C-alpha cells in the first residue's frame, strides 16, 4: 500500500513547533449540518480547522456546540477574527479566542469592505505586530502582495496566508506569479487562503511550492461536500509530490521524447 506523502518523504507542515501530516486546513462554516461537516473533515484529512469566534456559541452548556464537536474529534483549532473591520475588534476577538479556547494560534482577518472582502493591508500589519508582541502565533489572511507578505513574516508571523482570489469566489489562483514571488521572498510557511473552487486549484497552489492550502466554501457548498473534500486531499498530496519531484522546463518548441541516436535509417 502506498504511504502518505508525509510518511514516504518525511515531509511535514510545521507551525509554531507543531508538526502536521496534512497540509490542508479546512474551514467549518456553511455546511448543511454538523454530521456532513465531520464527514467532510475526515475525508479531507485535515488536522487543523478554522472557527470564526464571533459566529460560534462558546457557552453552550450542552456540549453539543461546534467547538465541543471539533475538540472531541481531536482537531487543532485555529480561531479566526472573521467579521472584524478594525484593529481593535480583531485584538479583542483574538484575546477572547485565547481565553475561551486556550490556544495562542490565531488567524488574523481584518476586512476592508463587504463587497470584495479584501484584507486591509495597513490594519493587518498593525494588528499582526500587536498580536505577535502579545505572544500569539499569528497567521494573517493577506493580499497576494509579496512586499506585504515579507513585512508580515519579518514581524514574526508564523505563516502568511495570501488570497488566491476573493473569498468564496471559486476563481482559483488568479496571480500564480505573485504567489511564486511570495514563496521565494519569505522564510515562513505560505498557505494559500481564499478563492479555491475545485481540486485543480489546490494542486496548482502546491505545485507553486506553497506549504498548504486553507479552504472552506469549495467543500462546504459543493454538491457532495464529502466527495469534494476527498478530492481536495488527493489534489494537495499530488501537487506537493509534483513540487518535490520538479517539473520539466517549459519550452517554446517540441522536444522529441524518443532519442534519435541509433535510429533505423531507410
Catalytic residues: 107
The residues facing 107 across adjacent strands are: 80, 139
Q: Which H/E stretch holds residue 50?
A: strand 48-52
- Joined together, the cell numbers standing for residue 183 give 514563496
3-state secondary structure 123-144: HHHHHHHHHHHCCCEEEEEECC
| Cβ-proximal residues to 89 (8 Å cutoff; 6+ apart), any chain | 81, 83
100: Cα separation from own chain's centroid: 23
Q: How far is CA 176 from CA 47, 86, 173, 181, in A?
A: 26, 29, 6, 9
Distance CA 179, CA 247 (A): 17
108: Cα separation from own chain's centroid: 13
Show the DSSP H helices in 119-196 as ranges: 121-133, 146-155, 176-185
Amino acid at each position: 500500500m502506498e504511504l502518505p506523502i508525509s510518511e514516504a518523504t518525511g515531509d511535514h507542515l510545521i507551525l509554531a513547533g507543531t508538526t502536521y501530516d496534512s497540509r490542508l486546513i479546512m474551514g467549518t462554516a456553511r455546511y448543511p449540518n454538523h454530521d456532513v461537516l465531520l464527514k467532510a473533515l475526515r475525508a479531507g484529512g485535515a488536522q487543523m480547522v478554522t472557527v470564526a469566534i464571533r459566529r460560534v456559541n462558546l457557552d453552550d452548556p450542552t456540549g453539543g456546540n461546534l467547538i465541543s464537536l471539533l475538540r472531541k474529534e481531536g482537531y487543532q483549532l485555529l480561531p479566526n477574527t472573521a467579521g472584524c473591520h478594525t484593529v481593535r475588534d480583531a485584538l479583542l476577538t483574538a484575546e477572547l479566542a485565547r481565553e475561551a479556547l486556550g490556544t495562542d494560534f490565531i488567524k488574523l482577518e481584518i476586512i476592508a469592505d463587504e463587497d470584495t472582502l479584501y484584507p486591509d493591508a495597513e490594519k493587518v500589519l498593525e494588528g499582526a505586530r500587536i498580536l505577535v508582541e502579545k505572544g500569539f502565533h499569528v497567521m494573517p489572511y493577506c493580499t497576494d502582495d509579496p512586499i506585504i507578505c515579507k513585512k508580515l513574516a519579518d514581524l514574526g508571523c508564523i505563516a502568511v496566508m495570501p488570497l488566491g482570489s476573493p473569498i468564496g469566489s471559486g476563481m482559483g489562483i488568479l496571480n500564480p506569479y505573485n504567489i511564486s514571488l511570495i514563496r521565494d521572498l519569505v522564510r515562513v510557511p505560505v498557505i494559500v487562503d481564499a478563492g479555491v473552487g475545485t481540486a485543480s486549484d489546490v494542486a496548482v497552489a502546491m505545485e507553486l511550492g506553497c506549504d498548504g492550502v486553507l479552504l472552506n466554501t469549495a467543500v462546504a457548498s459543493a454538491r457532495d461536500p464529502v466527495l469534494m473534500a476527498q478530492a481536495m486531499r488527493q489534489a494537495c498530496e499530488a501537487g506537493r509530490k509534483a513540487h518535490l519531484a520538479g517539473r520539466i522546463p517549459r519550452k517554446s518548441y517540441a522536444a522529441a521524447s524518443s532519442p534519435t541516436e541509433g535510429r533505423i535509417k531507410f
